[in-house]
């Protein structure tokens, strides 16, 4: 039995994962008898208590480190990515595998440090945005690789929340960034970005094409398109199964030790988002450099 600890109980993701692993989600067809969420920690005592009461947990920790010795894996689900490295670090130091929710971190330097620590310890990680795992995104990525002689341009649209207590731009923007990088590649060369009210438009420049990213306040739909000579492939993106996909890759990692995505592909979207924020705040095109982990 894998004992799982939740770090960040205020997020709806924490409840969703706990119900799936503790057999309380009637809509989840996949059961995990060897997985159980046993405890939680978070900055919001009332949310900790709700998770304990509603999801059949055993304990609430006073601080993350109190879970050491009581869990075999953790899921870092705090809404503000600022806290993700802080919450995850003691467990990675102890060799405990982790799921780190979106965004992996708010700061690229912190994300790199955390991933390098995990790699040095041989600790597998999964996480980031669930949207990169859904069927429509994978189909678009397949089409980009196989259905086009050459891509001429692309676009992705997804929600953003600019005014919130959970990191502002970073709270929701990872979804769009990871969809875009999954479809078009993790190697854009630069990005320019512009803010109009609470909406952000970014233009990611690749070697031979550009991709527009439309971060749209208040429109909770997702879509993407690939444009080529004589061909367009476009899809609305259904994210309704995202929690189940996240649980599946987490379980596979725990059982096999295999990561679904490289350390780089967990970290690079954070660097991309940092560059977008700098671009729209300073009105400059920002060159992108993605470090190896």
| CA distance linking residue 234 with residue 232, whole number of Å | 6
173-217: per-residue pLDDT in tens?
A: 999 999 999 999 999 999 999 999 999 999 999 999 999 999 999
pLDDT at 29: 79
DSSP structural state of residue 133 = G
123-160: per-residue pLDDT in tens?
A: 999 999 999 999 999 999 999 999 999 999 999 999 99
| CA distance linking residue 180 with residue 183, whole number of Å | 5
What does the pLDDT average to over 1-11? 97
For the question of whether the overall pTM of this predicted structure is more than 0.85, the answer is yes
**pLDDT tier for residue 26 given thresholds of 50, 70 and 90:** confident
113-128: per-residue pLDDT in tens?
A: 999 999 999 999 999 9
37: nearest Cα among 7, 6, 63: 6
What does the pLDDT average to over 164-177? 97
| CA distance linking residue 9 with residue 43, whole number of Å | 8
């Amino acid at each position: 039995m894998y004992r799982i600890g939740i770090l960040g109980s205020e997020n709806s993701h924490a409840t969703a994962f706990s119900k799936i692993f503790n057999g309380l989600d009637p809509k989840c067809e996949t059961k995990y008898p060897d997985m159980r969420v046993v405890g939680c920690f978070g900055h919001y005592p009332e949310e900790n208590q709700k998770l304990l009461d509603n999801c059949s947990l055993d304990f609430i920790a006073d601080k993350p480190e109190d879970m050491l010795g009581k869990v075999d894996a953790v899921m870092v689900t705090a809404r503000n990515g600022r806290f993700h490295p802080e919450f995850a670090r003691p467990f990675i130091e102890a060799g405990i595998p982790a799921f780190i929710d979106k965004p992996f971190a708010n700061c690229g330097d912190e994300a790199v440090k955390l991933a390098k620590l995990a790699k040095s310890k041989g600790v597998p990680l999964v996480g980031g945005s669930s949207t990169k795992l859904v069927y429509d995104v994978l189909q678009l990525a397949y089409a980009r690789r196989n259905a086009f002689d050459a891509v001429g341009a692309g676009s992705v649209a997804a929600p953003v929340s600019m005014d919130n207590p959970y990191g502002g731009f970073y709270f929701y923007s990872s979804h769009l960034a990871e969809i875009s990088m999954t479809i078009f590649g993790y190697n854009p060369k630069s990005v320019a970005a512009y803010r109009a009210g609470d909406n952000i438009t970014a233009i990611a420049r690749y070697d031979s094409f550009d991709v527009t990213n439309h971060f749209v306040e208040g429109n909770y739909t997702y879509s993407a398109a690939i444009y080529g000579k004589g061909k367009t492939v476009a899809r609305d993106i259904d994210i309704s199964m995202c929690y189940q996909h996240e649980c599946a890759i987490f379980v596979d990692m725990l059982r096999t030790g295999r990561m679904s995505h490289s350390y780089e592909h967990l970290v690079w979207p954070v660097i991309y988002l940092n560059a977008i924020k700098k671009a729209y705040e300073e009105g400059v095109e920002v060159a992108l450099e993605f470090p190896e982990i």
